[in-house]
Amino acid sequence: MSHIAIIGECMIELNGAPFGTMQQTYGGDTLNAAVYLNRSATSHSSSTNTPRIRTSYITALGADSISQEMLKRWQDEGLSTDLVLIDEQRSPGLYLIQLDDVGERTFLYWRNDSAARYMVQHPGFDKITAQLCDVDMVFLSGISLAILPHSDQLKLLTIIQGLRERGVTIAFDSNYRPKLWDSEDAIKETYQLAYQATDITLVTFDDEQLLWQDTHPQDTIKRLHALGVKTIVVKLGPEGCLISENPENEPVKIKTTPVETVVDSTSAGDSFNGGFLSCYLAGGSIEEACHQGNALARLVIQHHGAIIPKSITDTLSN
């Protein structure tokens, strides 16, 4: 069984109409990916109760009742929560989603003093670092880094680089969110370090174009290979994705089937990541992993919420 550890932040989610009916749930880019990864691994296993992959989530929560309920729900999803830290002084962050008529979303966040922001400073984090030497893969995102104080960003990236040198595969999704950063220079410096410690990137071309002014996905691929990234997946939305495992060869286009109506694009990239990583860790090729990621994302964006009901994602295995 492969073992992946996913580092990041999960927040309390409120979604609905402003000053109208709101629904409370939870979500966060890497947590969403972890859930979809585990569902996909379970649905494609020989036994519906035994996933092919162990998925551990690494974050910090509070000691409050909402944090405890979130932890229970992750366990119900089959995630391993042994590496979740409890911060007695802080609580989870909060975000609100507003959707327009075509499924595009606007976010408002309250997270500056969240438990996850200070997880690297938690007394138990060094113990977690030691345990990561035994996993097969570590996955994190640009948001996993962006929420941290700068010194903690550097500490985490040093840890990640050390794990890579020990043979742990590192996967990274840039998931660029400008409002989380102090300056463009700070973003670029941190991302450069992240890419240099990365084996597999799962980036979105719109993000790379916005930050690096890439004019074509092949510009992104060339830049990432030059930084030492071995396997590159550039997500292109309804056009599928472009993959490259060798800078000497032409990138390969993996097409997808666009949906007629996008209900909610909140977790499109996260569900792609979950489906991709599930297939890849189970021994699938990069092409097969992209097809699985595309299929899962296509299903997710036709329903409301960052994490859609399991009964819906289970249909992919039928």
Q: What is the DSSP letter of 47?
A: B
Whether the CB-CB separation of 95 and 11 falls below 8 Å is answered with yes
Q: What is the DSSP letter of 20?
A: S
Q: How far is CA 84 from CA 124, 160, 199, 201, 287, in A?
A: 10, 18, 25, 25, 32
**Structure tokens, 201:** 């990137």
Residues near 46 by beta carbon (within 8 Å), at least 6 away in sequence? none
Residue 270 is among the residues annotated as catalytic for this protein: yes
| C-alpha span between 244 and 254 (Å, rounded) | 11
Among 29, 173, 264, 270, the one annotated catalytic: 270
For 54, other C-beta atoms within 10 Å of its C-beta total: 18
User: Which residue bears the tokens 């990274």?
Assistant: 172
| C-alpha span between 203 and 223 (Å, rounded) | 12
| C-alpha span between 134 and 170 (Å, rounded) | 13
Annotate 165-207 with DSSP letters as a single string. HTT-EEEEE----GGGSS-HHHHHHHHHHHHHT-SEEEEEHHH
> Which are the catalytic amino acids?
270
